[in-house]
Amino acid sequence: MTTTTTPSLATASQDRQAGLAPINLLPLKLLIAAPRGFCAGVDRAIEIVERALDRFGEPVYVRHEIVHNRFVVDGLKAKGAIFVEELDEVPDGKPVVFSAHGVPKMVPAAATERGLDWLDATCPLVSKVHRQAERHVTAGRHILFVGHKGHPEVIGTMGQVPQGAITLVETLDDVTTLDFPGETPLAFLTQTTLSVDDTHEIVAALRARFPDINGPRAEDICYATSNRQAAVKAIAARCDLLLVIGAPNSSNSVRLVEVAEREGTPARLIQRGKEIDPAWLAGVETLGLTAGASAPEVLVREVVDTLREWRVVEEETVTTTVENMVFKLPRQLAD
């Protein structure tokens, strides 16, 4: 683990001279987790929409939120993107982008049938799970898919295979209710944005119940989800409270709140700095801060600036790993 300290006492002094004195001059130790924020899949998805706008001009349609972050979505809307829920809302002749969470196989097939120009912004790590699902079905295995019902990634993955070839498993209790004849070939796959600890428990239960079940050597939880959860674990014990920047419908962001709470640290999910209640800071000497994989760094700095309105903030970035993952763009947009 590497630690970088950036004091902000000088900034607080300047604020006081400008008439913006914090309400409470007691220092607030701010531990900022790293890695945090955007992952390679989110970077790629946003770039796909931006390049599509450059290539095709306004408007470019996007089926579902490209990523689960209102700030990002609103920014792309301002550039000419139009977000819709279903493909039939896209006019003929207009380009459409599929979100980073992935879509059922029938969606690009329908777009092709209509002659639409479509771009797939599905995270490559999610696409990898899609290919695994297809291979299991081809091999005659029934898939047990560990994930959260209704999440776009789950809908997209379950839509890669024929109906009846895959069963959703959400909890340990679900494992106990599974009923397959002993000779049934089984395989498991997992949503990429789950809790590492919870998923490990469910997979262990699946292996115990079905010793011959086929699965990946490691769960399909993506590197960014795992890294952000590990970074929270690294700071949680030192914090009186931890803030997670992310949307309520962002699975990986909600999981970060759960990870902190599992470590015994109270945590709150926020989308913007303005959502912070200064009363939350009462009695807080050390505050943790992280951001889900769909939250840009500008929102982290916004939160820090908001905190400085009330306290003298001493920043410390705690780095548990350095990410350098980059995903290629679709061939239609490659330079």
Residue 251 structural domain: 2-38+223-319
**In whole angstroms, what separates CA 60 from the centre of its chain?**
23
Catalytic-labelled residue, pool 50, 58, 113, 153:
153
Whether residue 159 sits in one domain with residue 128: yes
- Asked whether residue 104 is assigned to any structural domain, the reply reads yes
The verdict on residue 133 lying in a domain is: yes
Structural domains counted in the chain: 3
Task: Show which of 98, 120, 142 is a domain's final residue.
Answer: 120
**Residues 29, 50 share a domain:** no
Q: Among 187, 209, 231, identify where a domain stops.
A: 209
Q: Would you say residue 176 lies in a domain? A: yes
Residues 6+ apart with CB under 8 A from 155: 103, 104
Do 204 and 148 share a structural domain? yes
Predicted TM-score (pTM) of the model is: 0.90
Cβ contact 311:26 at 8 Å: yes
Whether residues 238 and 227 share a domain: the answer is yes
If asked whether residues 183 and 172 sit together in one domain, one would say yes
- Which pLDDT does position 220 carry in this prediction? 79
Residue 218 domain-assigned? no
Residues 228 and 310 in one domain: yes
Quote the pLDDT of residue 155: 97
Long-range residue pairs from 211-217, CB within 8 A, at least 24 positions apart, any chain: 212/185, 212/186, 213/144, 213/186, 213/187, 213/188, 214/136, 214/141, 214/185, 214/186, 214/187, 214/188, 215/187, 215/188, 215/189, 216/132, 216/189
Residue 23 has what pLDDT?
54
> Is residue 217 a part of any domain in this protein?
no
Identify the domain boundary among 88, 120, 152: 120
Is residue 315 flagged as an active site residue? no
DSSP assignments along 287-333, one per residue: EEEEE-TT--HHHHHHHHHHHTTTSEEEEEEEES-------PPPTTT
CATH number at residue 152: 3.40.1010.20
Q: Are residues 33 and 49 in the same domain?
A: no
Q: Assess if residue 128 is contained within a domain.
A: yes
pLDDT-flagged residues of the chain (< 50)? 2-22
Flag whether 9 is in a domain.
Answer: yes
Does any domain span residue 34?
yes
